[in-house]
Chain A
Amino acid sequence: MEQQEKIILRNVNFWYGRNRILDKISMKIAGQTITAVMGPSGQGKTTFLGLFNRLWDDIPGAKADGHMEILLDNRPVTPIRKDIPTPMLRRKVGMIFQEPNPLPMSIAKNMAFPLKLAGIQDKSYREAKIKKALEQAFLWDEVKHRLHTSALDLSGGQKQRLCLARALVLEPEILLCDEPTSSLDAHAANVIEELLVQLKTRCTILMVSHNPDQVQRIADNVFELQNGRMNPSDIPSKHLPG
């Protein structure tokens, strides 16, 4: 694997039963970048993101093949070959979804949830991690006095930032964002965009988006997924001349 490349895909295919969703996807993604995937609905963009954390594992009839390499802890792993336990992979490859999905518990417990799942028992260590992640998500100042209130009482934008912080608390190396701003108002969406740009110094971000303006503003690479094939998009990324 080349030094700067975080992800390499060569001829990766994905099927639901006999239905091929992804067709010979080949791409290279450098570390600490934002890569956006666009395309019409129902083309498999979310499925594509799910390749990286094997979110399709439990879906009957779903299977993937091809060569896929991710650099985690400076060690190449191949999720398709299952050479890393799924829970461990998912702690290194975080994900946030289109709809914010906080659990019906307090903000603090939502944040502690992934740490406890990972078996981290030290309370003071957990609290430090939670504070750091909430700060990274620009949420600490807004919630520090009400950490023990229900996460469901937060606004839509705050909920999404909480979900982002909850993913960040495990310090993932790759962050998958499935249309993270599509259910938010313009202001909340701007905050998330700004946040993602700051986060890319810490992790590699793969994002699905339907918003060309957003992609143009924040993405370093833009791809278009259509009929199962992935191609560089016509939409200019921020590093390319418009």
Chain B
Amino acid sequence: MMRTLMEKTITFLSWLMTLVLFSVVLFFIGYLLHKGLPVLGRSLVFGETDPMQAILGRARVFDGLFPAVMGTLYLVLLSTALALPIGISAGIYLAEYAPPAAGRRFGFFFDILAGIPSIVIGLFGFSVAVFLHKHFSGRISPCLLISALSLAFLVLPYIIRSTQVALESLPAPIRRTAPALGATRLQNLVYVLIPHALSNIVSGIILSIGRCAEDTAVIMLTGVVATAGIPSSLLSQYEALPFYIYYISGQYADQAELDKGYGACLILLGICAVLFILAGMVKKHLTHRALYKV
């Protein structure tokens, strides 16, 4: 009797918490839509500039979010591209090749890395930029590349750990199928283990994309500015949506300006959603291709 009551209570509380969380998320998105939708439009992104001219790079956008949108996209793609090969390789090493003791030590190290506040990583990136400026080239200063490297450093632990956990959690029957048929360790990894773990690995990558898109502390110290236009090179300063949101919410002169911040939030969420959907499509396509490849 007591046990049944306890079970029912726990079930109800779990259900209630899920409902509360779901409601909060719905309220949050609803609030953003309520505030942001009215200002969302061509002029918010392109200002007075012709959109086609701006997209083709023939005209600069001065009073719209287009440079910040492009800066965010560049930043996310660049930092993810930098972090992926290193993160996935390290995750594979930890899961499949590292001796247990080394695996534990490296795992602990990556957990510490994951816990470092992003502002500290931003400061480190800034210090690297100053060092390079002093000792290598006066052209190097806080820029898109330094930001992307810092962000890649920030998200590396997520990619490493998600790859490692995805591989380690594969059940024994899957692990031993190919070896029992004469597969080498590498063949087993490439043809069986990675394809089976791919779905969870990509989930980790999606989390990393979100983190790259939203982090403000790192980019504040490493190259983002309020007005820079679309970056012309990796060594250029740039604009980014999270910094715009941070800046406008602290410096707004009137309600209309603050509402533009909400519009920027919606655009940022939209960019993340598009990137998540793309990653999901890649995941589905890659998993299918990988599993049927051999």
Contact = CB atoms under 8 A, between A and B. Distances in A.
Contacts of B185: 58
B294 A101 contact: no
B291 interface: yes
Interface string A83-118: 000111011001101010101111001001110111
Given A53-B180, A95-B180, A60 B291 contact: no
A101 B173 contact: yes
Nearest to A167: B181
Nearest to B97: A58
A90 B182 contact: yes
Interface string B167-185: 0000001101111111111
Given A113-B294, A117-B294, A55 B192 contact: no
Interface in B184-236: 184-185, 187, 191-192
Per CB-CB distance, the 6 closest pairs between chain A and chain B, nearest first, are A91-B182, A114-B181, A90-B182, A95-B180, A101-B173, A87-B182
A166 interface: yes
A93 to B, nearest CB: 9
Nearest to B101: A60
A101 B181 contact: no
A127 to B, nearest CB: 16
28 contacts: A53-B180, A55-B176, A55-B179, A55-B180, A58-B185, A60-B99, A60-B100, A87-B182, A87-B184, A88-B182, A90-B180, A90-B182, A91-B181, A91-B182, A94-B181, A95-B180, A97-B173, A97-B180, A101-B174, A101-B177, A103-B192, A109-B294, A113-B191, A117-B191, A117-B294, A118-B182, A167-B180, A167-B181
Contacts of B136: none
Interface in B86-115: 99-100
Contacts of A167: 180-181
A113 B292 contact: no
Contact of A170 (B173, B179, B182, B292): B182
Nearest to B287: A104
Given A88-B182, A113-B191, 16 more contacts: A55-B180, A58-B185, A86-B179, A90-B179, A90-B180, A90-B181, A91-B182, A97-B176, A104-B291, A105-B291, A113-B178, A114-B181, A117-B178, A117-B182, A117-B184, A117-B191
Contact of B187 (A103, A106, A117): A117
Contacts of B176: 55, 97, 101
B183 A87 contact: yes
B263 to A, nearest CB: 44
Interface in B137-180: 173-174, 176-180
A167 B177 CA distance: 10
A117 B184 CA distance: 8
Contact of B181 (A58, A104, A109, A117): A117
A109 B192 CA distance: 13
Nearest to B195: A104
Interface string A113-148: 110111000000000000000000000000000000
A53 B184 CA distance: 13
B177 A103 contact: yes
Nearest to A90: B182
A17 B292 CA distance: 38
Contacts of A95: 180
Contacts of B184: 86-87, 117
Contact of A116 (B173, B292, B294): B294
Most buried by B among A55, A99, A104, A105: A104
Given A60-B99, A117-B294, A170 B180 contact: no
Contacts of A87: 182-184
Contacts of B192: 103
B181 A113 contact: yes
A90 B180 CA distance: 6
Contacts of B191: 113, 117
A196 to B, nearest CB: 17
Contacts of A166: 181
Contacts of B99: 60
Nearest to A91: B182
A29 to B, nearest CB: 20
B136 to A, nearest CB: 44
A112 B99 CA distance: 33
Contacts of B292: 105-106, 109
Most chain B CB within 10 A, of A90, A91, A99, is at A90
Nearest to A103: B177
A105 B290 CA distance: 10
Contacts of A94: 180-181
A134 to B, nearest CB: 16
A97 B176 CA distance: 10
